[in-house]
Amino acid sequence: MARPLRIEYDGALYHVTSRGNERRPIFKDDADRELFLERLAQVTERYRWICHAYCLMNNHYHLVVETPDGNLSKGMRQLNGVYTQGFNKGHHRVGHLFQGRYKGVVVQKDSHFLEVCRYVVLNPVRAKAVKGPQQWRWSSYRATVGMVKPHRCLRTEDLLGRLGRSKAQAQQRYREFVYEGIEKPSIWEGLKGQSLLGQEGFVEKLVRYVKGKEEIQEIPKGQRYLGRPSLEKLFRGTPRRKAVRDRLIAEAVKRYGYSQQELAAFLGLHYSTISRLVKEVGEHQK
């Protein structure tokens, strides 16, 4: 079987799952689950991910995450790697915890966002672990409907914003929407190339994108820019004029492939400031 495509771009939405090695448990107790959610929160903050939904099963987990900076692989290495270290230390073990690489499916947000979020929180029901999603403590369902306070790794605003004007109305519609999904056919019947879930035009567009990058699709992003100038060289002398500095920031991101996180650390700015400046420069250049 061909290896699933690894597609990364700014603003991509993914369904991500990762399983235990030999299908063994990756969570042995609630302390492990709490640890995982804390590690997920740290990754969302560090890499600017947006986590819309999650579900922690016994030997695997599901996430719906959005990556404004196109950095899924980098964040997943951090998430699974650091969690494995904590798990091994807590249970006095060594070695791999997860079975190979994670699986990440690119999801068309306009058409499949709600469906994939519903799929994730219904996993315990489909596995017959519980009768209703509200009975499973370790998914984002309870927080999204307002039963508990959301963990700091989770953002519910985008999902609820699609279902109603008021929060109460949106939460009620979300409850109904999730329960309607119990008898629905699997969303994965429309999966393309093991990696793409969306309408025909969306899938074709991404397939063309990948084909256009065939000669470098297996080359890490950092290696694609081996000839780029260093940040020290780009910002030599730290330009006094703000307009010049801002233009260099945008150029570093768009032309040379530096991440907003790298620039924020180098310049001593918050990543949200970098993001805003890049956007402003782009608007001025239109």
* CATH number for domain 12-214, candidates 3.30.70.1290, 3.40.50.10190, 1.10.1060.10, 3.40.50.11540: 3.30.70.1290
Domain positions in the chain are 12-214, 225-284
- Determine the pLDDT at residue 59: 97
- Determine the pLDDT at residue 211: 62
Work out the angle between the directed axes of helices 242-254 and 260-267 (0-180°, nearest 10).
140
Model-level pTM? 0.73
The 10 Å Cβ neighbour count of residue 120 is 23
**Would you say 278 and 250 are in contact if contact means Cβ atoms under 8 Å apart?**
yes
> What is d(CA 1, CA 278) in angstroms, rounded to the nearest whole number?
41
> What is d(CA 260, CA 274) in angstroms, rounded to the nearest whole number?
6
| Torsions phi, psi for 245 (to 5 deg) | -60, -45
Nearest-CA neighbor of 271 among 28, 7, 120, 48? 48
Q: How many CA atoms lie within 13 A of 221 on its CB side?
A: 18
> What is d(CA 81, CA 79) in angstroms, rounded to the nearest whole number?
6
- Determine the pLDDT at residue 217: 37
Mean pLDDT, 10 residues at a time, the chain of 286 residues: 69 95 95 97 93 97 94 96 96 94 92 96 96 97 96 93 91 97 88 84 75 42 56 78 87 79 83 83 66
Phi-psi region of 154 (alpha: psi -120 to 50; beta: other; left: phi over 0): beta
Grouping H, G, I as helix, E, B as strand and the rest as coil, residue 15 is strand
> What is d(CA 251, CA 245) in angstroms, rounded to the nearest whole number?
10
> What is d(CA 13, CA 129) in angstroms, rounded to the nearest whole number?
28
> What is d(CA 24, CA 99) in angstroms, rounded to the nearest whole number?
9
CA-CA-CA-CA torsion for 272, 276, 281, 282, nearest 10 degrees?
100
| Torsions phi, psi for 186 (to 5 deg) | -65, 140
